[in-house]
Amino acid sequence: MVVPAGRTAHEILAEGEQYTDHPLNWSGILENREELSHGSDKFLEVKELWKIFGPKAEDLLQSDLKFSSKQEILDQTGCVVGLRNVSFNVRRGEFFMLMGLSGSGKSTCIRCLLRLIEPTAGHVLVNGEDICAFDKATLMSLRRKTFGMVFQHFGLFPHYTVRDNVAYGLKVGGASRVESYEKAQKAIETVGLKGWEDYLPGSLSGGMQQRVGIARALAKDPEILLMDEPFSGLDPLIRREMQDELVELQDKLHKTIIFVTHDLHEALKLGDRIAIMRDGEIIQLGTPEDVVTSPADDYVREFVQDASPAKILTADRIKEEPSLLIYEWQGPHVVRHLLRAARRQNAFVVSKHHTLLGLVTREGIDDLIKQGAASIKEAILADVPKCEPHTIVEDLFPLATSSHFSIAVTDSAGRFLGVIHDRTILDSMISDREETNND
Amino acid sequence: MTKFPANIQIPLATWVDELMDWILAHWGGFFDALGDILLQVLLYIEKFFLVMPWYVVLILVGLVAWRALGRWWHGLVMAALLFVIGTFGYWRLAMMTLGLVTSAVIISLTIGIPAGILMARNNLVEQLLRPFLDAMQTMPSFVYLIPALMLFGLGKVPAVFATIIYAVPPVIRLTNVGIRQVPQTVLEAAESLGSSSRQILFNVQLPLAFPSIMVGVNQTTMMALSMVVVASMIGARGLGLEVLLAINRIEVGRGFEAGLSIVFLAIIIDRITHALAARQRQFTSH
């Protein structure tokens, strides 16, 4: 634990409260201040949530002892503090990360949102309704409709087939067999498991089992997706693949996602905002950029230190406007002129809708003109290195070395967003620190 | 000082005697009625085994063993064992024993499985039941014969009663263990999907505990078989009585035949229930 010498627990706590009580003062949220002040943007509100494990937890909350450190409370009362005065808001459609080491309270926190663990005190508001005040039946229907949860150890039903696993949530909600199977099928296809419907989970690989877990959570089309370290149990290659697919899925589905992780890289890659927890408190809340550039304290700094820029920087951040862009309807002679004028050997070609079609080279155009063709279509090389805005720089290395062309950045619909030159990739590795500090 | 002081004593024996007297005086009617109901059930089940022609029983046992054990010749061996019992001249007695065991097992399961479920879902119940289960399993089986005899007199009913007390603990324990062994994440997942506790019990806990429950059924059945033999001392007829008589008259050959018949019955019952338990285990290796 990184508690700087010379600071008392009270000081640390006071600092923590400052963060949790006044999240708007955080630089990263400044830009979103306007949005946050609207009630409708507080889709999920967590207010002063406490969880204390042990007998007489309520008595402890009444006393001043609750301001003592975790260890002091444990020594004096035998109670373990799971969550200490946690507050945050999540906007509709936001990808919200809860990050911390094991024992920091992140898993407890996400379970309290569904009341899988009953909070000792505090409120969880969904769409303005306090679910902590719900009775059993209302809570159950909330779980059936509004929430979907994905677990680290999958939590699949080993005696049910993939299809029955995914349909389970619909069936317990009272949906007919036909209807639940129909929706389950859709969810199964969404996660790319078509053809595996009749297998038992035990016969699938870890990555595929977690796809079943995700399909099961998605089947009832919940507004909020809770993910408790869903990819931690998978090997690194599969983990990255699943992260990429989750990003793609989120692009399509626009769920509100609360994602627990202990992996900073994962948090930086996926999150719109990150809440860093320690000893049951939120010690920093901000965008990935904030967390990296201005860590709240030594604890966060230590986290961030080993994050290499190649793993944080995304293509979106280092992409440039191309010096020359060719449109598909431009004729060969025009293109040759443009290339010469720009002193370029090649350039990307886009359609009317700015969709990337490929790349033309000067030799290709010269050949076309010799043949007397009227359109440049035949000279377009479609097979060019491409990446998406959220691709991290580390993943660009293989692309850059596999081709002598620059890398095109396109969105999921194939629209051209910018270009990344080999030189830019190298520059980004060196100048990242100064650049981010000047932001 | 090797003698324990004689004036320090707990008259537990007297208390127990007095309790039995009190129960007999005030609850005699209840136990008579209970005995009558039990007897009806017993006779009905026994009749089922006695009325069936011997070859039908052979074929049924062969088929069930075939289905359970997976190989046709396993079925054949099981049927052959039963056939050998018949050749000893013990067919009728074997069927009576089988009837008693079946009745005791059916009643044990109707009590034991719900008790195991209750125990798994409530820690207090588990703490309360555990010492009783320990006592029931460690007590020599003969001890149950005495209160059973006093409550129900001689005959089949006390025999089955004593058998149930002796044989019910394993199925309670293993139902409890099976349900408690269901992984926490699976339960959390079921809960997060909005299952009621009833839905969790029937959709998740019981199916996943099934292999363990079946092991309990197997053990309960085997214990019931061994107890039915002992219970012949208080009037249960069947193979056990035959062994008892042979011991009393020192007829080694007769005792051997009867004993071997019991062993054959045990093998048949054990293999079939064991195979049913093992068959379901494939999920839990996960």
**Record: contact A154-B185, CB cut-off 8 A:** yes
d(CA A413, CA A402): 24
pLDDT at B37 over 60: yes
> pLDDT tens for residues A134-162?
998 899 988 988 999 999 998 999 999 99
pLDDT mean over A331-337: 87
Do A357 and A265 fall into the same domain? no
A330 DSSP 8-state letter: S
* AA letter at B271: R
Least confidently predicted of B24-28, B116-120, B122-126: B24-28
pLDDT mean over B116-123: 93
Asked if residue A209 belongs to a domain, the reply is no
Residue-level pLDDT at A260: 94
Enumerate the domain spans of chain B.
15-282
Instruction: Say how many residues make up chain B.
Output: 286
Which chain A residue lies closest to B191 (C-alpha atoms)? A116
> pLDDT tens for residues A166-216?
999 999 888 899 999 999 999 999 888 989 999 999 999 888 999 999 999
Q: How many CA atoms lie within 13 A of A391 on its CB side?
A: 23
Residue identified by tokens 């089988």 is B98
Do A412 and A297 fall into the same domain? no
Optimal mutation site among B192, B208, B214, interface A, most CBs of chain A within 10 A: B192
Tokens standing for residue A437: 């500090």
pLDDT mean over A4-25: 41
**Record: contact A140-B194, CB cut-off 8 A:** yes
Assign residue A66 the CATH number of its domain.
3.40.50.300
Q: A142 contacts in B (CB within 8 Å)? A: 194
Question: In terms of residue numbers, what domain contains A343?
Answer: 316-438
**Record: contact B192-A147, CB cut-off 8 A:** yes
Assess A202–B contact: CB distance below 8 Å, yes or no. Answer: yes
Residue-level pLDDT at A97: 93
Q: What is the residue-averaged pLDDT of chain A?
A: 82
Residue-level pLDDT at A102: 81
Top pLDDT among A25 and A427 is at A427
**Coil, strand or helix: which one is A99?**
strand
**Closest Cα in chain A, distance from residue B186 (Å):** 4
d(CA B25, CA B145): 19
Do A345 and A274 fall into the same domain? no
Q: What confidence tier does A60 reach under pLDDT thresholds 50, 70, 90?
A: confident
pLDDT at A36 over 60: no
Which chain A residue lies closest to B286 (C-alpha atoms)? A202
- C-alpha closest to that of B116 among B76, B58, B171: B171
Q: Among A140, A172, A202, select the one facing B283 at the smallest CB separation.
A: A202
Do A89 and A115 fall into the same domain? yes
Buried b (16+ CB within 10 A) or exposed e, A52-87: beeeebeebeeeeebebbbeebeeebebbbbbbbbb
Tokens standing for residue A13: 């706590």
Q: A156 contacts in B (CB within 8 Å)? A: 186, 189
pLDDT mean over A57-75: 77
Do A138 and A265 fall into the same domain? yes
The residues, ordered by sequence, that sit 6+ positions from A55 with a Cβ below 8 Å of its Cβ are A78, A79
- Across A22-31, A330-339, B151-160, B194-203, the highest mean pLDDT is recorded for B194-203
pLDDT mean over B4-20: 86
Tokens standing for residue A383: 């097979």
Residue-level pLDDT at A68: 77
**Coil, strand or helix: which one is A69?**
coil
**Record: contact B199-A172, CB cut-off 8 A:** yes
**Closest Cα in chain B, distance from residue A151 (Å):** 7
Residue-level pLDDT at A307: 64
Least confidently predicted of A74-88, A357-371, B157-171, B267-281: B267-281
d(CA A128, CA A87): 15
**Record: contact B189-A157, CB cut-off 8 A:** yes
Least confidently predicted of A5-9, A173-177, B38-42: A5-9
Q: B196 contacts in A (CB within 8 Å)? A: 140, 172
d(CA B275, CA B215): 10
d(CA A269, CA A304): 13
Least confidently predicted of A113-122, A415-424, B178-187, B273-282: B273-282
Do A278 and A326 fall into the same domain? no
Q: What confidence tier does B276 reach under pLDDT thresholds 50, 70, 90?
A: confident
Residue-level pLDDT at B83: 93
> pLDDT tens for residues A69-97?
777 888 887 888 889 889 999 999 899 99
**Record: contact B185-A159, CB cut-off 8 A:** no
Find the angle CA(B104)-CA(B105)-CA(B106) to the nearest 5 degrees: 95
pLDDT mean over A298-314: 73
Q: Among A116, A140, A147, select the one facing B196 at the smallest CB separation.
A: A140
Residue-level pLDDT at A17: 39
Element (H, E) at A326: strand A325-327
Assess A174–B contact: CB distance below 8 Å, yes or no. Answer: no
- C-alpha closest to that of B67 among B79, B75, B58: B75
| Whole-number Cα distances in Å, A145 to A129, A138, A165, A222, B186 | 15, 11, 17, 6, 19
**Coil, strand or helix: which one is B117?**
helix
d(CA A125, CA A106): 18
pLDDT mean over A239-250: 88
Q: Among A149, A158, A172, select the one facing B283 at the smallest CB separation.
A: A158
Which chain B residue lies closest to A138 (C-alpha atoms)? B194
Q: A162 contacts in B (CB within 8 Å)? A: none
User: How many beta-carbon pairs under 8 angstroms link A with B?
Assistant: 72
**Record: contact A116-B192, CB cut-off 8 A:** yes
Which chain B residue lies closest to A202 (C-alpha atoms)? B286
- C-alpha closest to that of A243 among A204, A220, A218, A271: A271
**Record: contact A149-B283, CB cut-off 8 A:** no
pLDDT at A126 over 50: yes
Least confidently predicted of A69-73, A275-279, A366-370: A69-73
Which chain B residue lies closest to A158 (C-alpha atoms)? B283
Which chain B residue lies closest to A110 (C-alpha atoms)? B192
Residue-level pLDDT at A168: 93
Do A325 and A428 fall into the same domain? yes
Do A288 and A357 fall into the same domain? no
Least confidently predicted of A268-277, A388-397, A410-419, B89-98: A388-397
Do A132 and A87 fall into the same domain? yes
Do A300 and A321 fall into the same domain? no
Of all residues in chain A, the percent with pLDDT exceeding 90 is 24
Q: B208 contacts in A (CB within 8 Å)? A: 158-159
Residue-level pLDDT at A401: 81
pLDDT mean over A350-355: 87
Do A97 and A22 fall into the same domain? yes
Top pLDDT among A245 and A18 is at A245
Residue-level pLDDT at B281: 54
Q: How many domains does chain A have?
A: 2
Asked if residue A66 belongs to a domain, the reply is yes
Assign residue A344 the CATH number of its domain.
3.10.580.10
Write down which residue in A271, A290, A307 finishes a domain: A307
pLDDT at A30 over 60: no
pLDDT mean over A26-35: 39
Optimal mutation site among B179, B191, B193, B205, interface A, most CBs of chain A within 10 A: B193
d(CA B14, CA B7): 16
Asked if residue A45 belongs to a domain, the reply is yes
Residue-level pLDDT at A34: 39
Asked if residue A135 belongs to a domain, the reply is yes
**Closest Cα in chain B, distance from residue A11 (Å):** 37
**Record: contact B192-A149, CB cut-off 8 A:** yes
Which chain A residue lies closest to B195 (C-alpha atoms)? A172
Q: A114 contacts in B (CB within 8 Å)? A: 192
pLDDT at A59 over 60: yes
d(CA B265, CA B105): 15
Element (H, E) at B79: helix B72-87
Assess A76–B contact: CB distance below 8 Å, yes or no. Answer: no
**Record: contact A116-B188, CB cut-off 8 A:** yes
Which chain A residue lies closest to B284 (C-alpha atoms)? A158
**Closest Cα in chain B, distance from residue A178 (Å):** 19
**Record: contact B188-A151, CB cut-off 8 A:** yes
Q: What is the residue-averaged pLDDT of chain B?
A: 88
Architecture of domain B15-282: Orthogonal Bundle (1.10)
Phi and psi torsions of A279, nearest 5°? 50, 40
Top pLDDT among B281 and B247 is at B247
**Closest Cα in chain A, distance from residue B193 (Å):** 5
Q: A165 contacts in B (CB within 8 Å)? A: none
pLDDT at B186 over 90: yes
Which chain B residue lies closest to A156 (C-alpha atoms)? B186
pLDDT at A265 over 60: yes
pLDDT at A3 over 50: no
Tokens standing for residue B208: 């996943």
Do A273 and A390 fall into the same domain? no
pLDDT mean over B121-147: 87
Q: Among B194, B199, B208, select the one facing A158 at the smallest CB separation.
A: B208
